[in-house]
Amino acid sequence: MPLFKRKPFDLAKPPEDLEPSELVYQVRFTKEIFRDYQEYLNRINLYRQRVWMCKSTGKSNLTYEEAMVTEKHAIQKVQQLPNDLVAPALRIIQFSMLSLRDLADLVTKKLQKDLFVGAELYGKKDDGLYPCRVLKIVENGVGKTQYEVALLGENKKITENAILHGEDLVWKKTPFNRKILKSFIRESTCRSIPWVLHEKLAQKHGISTDLPEELRSKFFLQGGQLVNRTKKRKNENRNNVGEANGESGKFKRNKGETGKPDASKEENNQPEDEPVKYPIDDLLVKPGPDDPLFTDRPSPSRDFNVPMDCIGDLLMVWDFCSSFSRVLNLWPFSLEDFENAICHKDSNLVLIVETHSALLRILIKDDGEYSLALQNKKRKSKISLITWTEYVCDFLEMINVTELCSCMTTIKRGHYGLLDANAKLGILRELVCHALETDLIRGKLDDLIEQRRALGATVRGEALEYARKKREEKEQLKGESNGLVVKENSMESTGSNPHMAENGEENGDMMEEVISSRQSNAFVNSRKQLNGQSKKGEKQKLDPKVEAENITNSNEKEEQKQLTGEKKEDQEKKSKEKREQRKEYFKREMEKRSIRTNPLGKDRDYNRYWWFRRDGRIFVESSDSKQWGYYCAKEEVDALMSSLNPKGERERALQQQLEKFYPRISLELQKRSKDLAQKIALEEAVLRRSTRVRAPPRENPANAFLKYVNKWKED
């Protein structure tokens, strides 16, 4: 079991008088049961904290579940230790006073000499080293142990048998390592230094549990546990001092306001109730007094033209065609036009024909199974408005899907438009799935991945360069400040001597020369003469004109400093703006090279939210993918964001993604609202016309999909 602060942790006992029909809270990985929700939540939060330690590996800073998984894997590795080596290893471990590392090294060293039946190693024979397996341990009367081994050839087949001495057998690779032995030692013992085996384990392998003579002066057994004599003596002395003062310190700490011991703290290793640390699982979140006012979640629109159960296929096919439009040589079209085209009954609709043809051409270029099928039927590689249905039927024969093959008779008769939306989208879905496996699409995906990596490397390089420049500027400022301090100190040493100030370089050089030479007395005399001259200089500098010039010079220097400071601020602002522009540029370039569309996130009920850049709407998919809806107005998105509870893990992540893309989502939705308003206005204008000048159906904005033209079509 995982350790809590390096000590065993007792799980909560199940409630008493629990009825079968009673609703309770159960921890998934410990199977603990709680009646009270707050107790359950406190225990869950404790298990999620990184205060747990794996008993087998010694890894710390883990959650309870992570420690359980680590312990499980370690136990599985420990079980790989050969059974013949377990007892010798346990005898070495029992009552050892070595550290864990030294003990593991000692066990490894000793076990390498103990060979067992079934061990695979290398044997020396005829000046050669051959792989072999120990078949039998042969004891001779002399006291030396010999081993009957089988020499192994290719695929571990036995070539011949031989009897070899122990020194002729060499481990090429031991069946255990230090890591496994450390886990084995931790799992086998109940305490460390001295290491004591579990009582049942020691009895199973016939290992004595009596304390050795050399340890009896320091330890003794009490209640089946090893107790340190010195530590117990110190505790007894401390308790005696506490009783002499009136009561023990531990009893004082455990007292409550009433002066009685705290019953909740008397239980061993049971943590105190802690406040809930959010975010937690959304279904566990309950209303709190400090919660903000959440708005009601708006119900999404569900006015789709296609059946509800094929909305997912509709979005998948449209998103694929939009994302790889350049590779497919297919002019992009809107989701509304694609939906209307799927529901239209015309059998040779240009948008549908071009979509099928583009996907079929990708399969033909791949020289795969579909291309071979066409060669067997001696079909031409050029797909036209008349022959496209034949290529679709060939594809349906190749994939041999029962539901779709039943549509072949209708398609061959030239009535593709009479198929229901499920069948049309099913054919397109299969085409997209096969197109994704082609070398052309895979190559495009590889190129996009490489471009994204290159962009990421450029971003990291610019960030490192910016950090390097910042470090250099800081070092430069530190150097300048240190130089100013040195200059001030030198000015203080020269005093107010103008001659010394004017000839600072000469004096500095002279000082170095004088100090390094033996003419120290001459240096003292020269300093006296200079000091005499400095007094004359001070009298000369009392002239008011000179003072006025000094004041004007200082004012000019201050103005120059202000100007340089303003220039630096302007440069910093410009550089910051450039960095922001570069960040936005890299974001746009990354989005252009997106590999796939991922959902924005999930709400508390596991409903997924999708946003497609080329459409603008936010689509809502139910947890079972049977219901779909969408939000198409900015006000609906605002209401959705206000209804999300950030205390839940899923809704918190969804809210962050919506906030991240909110400017773009709102901009796209506003554009969409304007376009819809224009379409409605045009439709009303068409209806107001008289029957004699009414526009033909193809000019109606609602029928824009009828005017689709593939501008990227291959010649």
The ranges assigned to domains in the chain are 2-77, 88-106+180-230, 308-445, 599-689
- ∠ Cα 54 57 58 (to 5°): 65
Per-residue model confidence (pLDDT) at position 56: 80
Q: CA gyration radius for the chain?
A: 42
The residues, any chain, with a CB within 8 Å of residue 272's CB and separated by 6 or more, are: 264, 265
Per-residue model confidence (pLDDT) at position 317: 95
Strand 225-228 and strand 601-602: pairing? unpaired
d(CA 325, CA 153): 58
Per-residue model confidence (pLDDT) at position 588: 83
Whether the model pTM is above 0.75: no
- Whether residue 448 contacts residue 335, with contact meaning beta carbons closer than 8 Å, is answered with no
- ∠ Cα 499 503 507 (to 5°): 105
Per-residue model confidence (pLDDT) at position 274: 61
Residues pairing with 455 in the sheet: none
Per-residue model confidence (pLDDT) at position 563: 65
Residues pairing with 122 in the sheet: 131, 170
Lookup: tokens for 63: 């959650």
Question: For the chain, which residues score pLDDT lower than 70?
Answer: 141-143, 172-176, 223-224, 231-274, 482-563, 565, 682-702, 715
Closest among 571, 575, 573, 579 to 459, alpha carbons compared:
579
Residues in the chain: 715
Per-residue model confidence (pLDDT) at position 128: 82
Residues pairing with 147 in the sheet: 137, 164
- Whether residue 609 contacts residue 276, with contact meaning beta carbons closer than 8 Å, is answered with no
Residue 298 CB burial class (10 angstroms; 0-12, 13-18, ≥19): middle
- ∠ Cα 609 613 614 (to 5°): 120
d(CA 201, CA 90): 9
Per-residue model confidence (pLDDT) at position 510: 41
Lookup: tokens for 418: 């009479």
